[in-house]
Amino acid sequence: MVYKYIYQLAIDFLFPPRCVITDQAITKHANNRFLSATAQGFLPLLHIYCPRCSLPLSTPSKSACGECQKHPPQYKRVISPLIYAEPIRSMIQDTKFNNILHNAAFFADLLLKNIQQHYQHQALPQLILPVPLHNKRLQQRGYNQAREISRLLSQQLSISHNDQSLIRIKATDEQSGLNAKQRQHNLKNAFAVAQSLLPIKHVAIVDDVMTTGATVNSVAQTLLDEGVEQVDVWVVARTAK
């Protein structure tokens, strides 16, 4: 035990952990294993949001936003620690293959703190599923960031994780540039369940970014059709609209 501690101290001294945003060496004062003290002030934290879809709002509200009231989503709620803004936007977009594990660990760590807060008095989901990429996209990109975050959360929360159950059967066109209605149409029947989830009743789906919510809504619909009773959404960042 003592040797392990000394070994870790030596490793940290020789190769101090570096900030995921500024690339500065992280000192003990930062009190965070991913962020320098300076970078902690740069995080676009999501403080005021719709209690259902986590849409960033300008004033606190106990009731759901207009869009959620007009078209209630299939999921129960969204947990998102961040607003999709710089420097997180670049980090999510530019994640290079070599950094994927380190960045995923940082994102999982942020999400974990929010999840623990939100579920203090409520049961955690029984299963975590990453939002899958279509095989074609996965081959182009080489990895699915959502899968890495989901895997880490599963370890930290001791909840099962399954990256085989949910599949993307439709290679949807690029979503950016489409409005909410077009996105919804684009994603209709885009997902399917490859393995029965029974008797699981409560599932969390994990993704990196949530924009209009069309993707997670389509996944939630697929899961509800399979007999799941509650779908929660866990994302790293939420766009402002």
Residues of this chain that interact with Zn ion (CB under 5 A) are 50, 52-53, 55, 64-65, 68
Q: How far is the CB of 93 from Zn ion (least distance, A)?
A: 25
Helix (H, G, I), strand (E, B) or coil at 16: coil
Query: Which of 235, 216, 234, 237 minimizes the C-alpha distance to 86?
Result: 237
Q: Residue 90 Cβ, how far from Zn ion at the closest point, in Å? A: 26
| Residue number with CB closer to Zn ion (39 or 50) | 50
Contacts of 219 (CB under 8 A, 6+ apart): 129, 131, 166, 191, 205, 231
Q: How far apart are the first and last CA of the chain?
A: 50
Measured from the CB atom, the residue of 21 and 50 that comes closer to Zn ion is 50
In the complex, minimum distance from the CB of residue 57 to Zn ion, in angstroms, rounded to a whole number: 9
CB-neighbour burial class of residue 2 (10 A; exposed 0-12, middle 13-18, buried 19+): exposed
- Least Å distance, CB 137 to Zn ion, is 28
DSSP string, 156-214: HHT-EE-SSSEEE-S-PPP-TT--HHHHHHHTTT-EEESS--TT--EEEEEEEEESSSH
| Residues 6+ positions from 122 with CB-CB distance below 8 Å | none
Task: Give the nearer residue to Zn ion in terms of CB position, either 61 or 99.
Answer: 61
Between 30 and 231, CB nearer to Zn ion:
231
The two beta strands, 127-130 and 82-83, are: unpaired
Shortest reach from residue 50's CB to Zn ion, in Å: 3
Least Å distance between CB 69 and Zn ion? 8
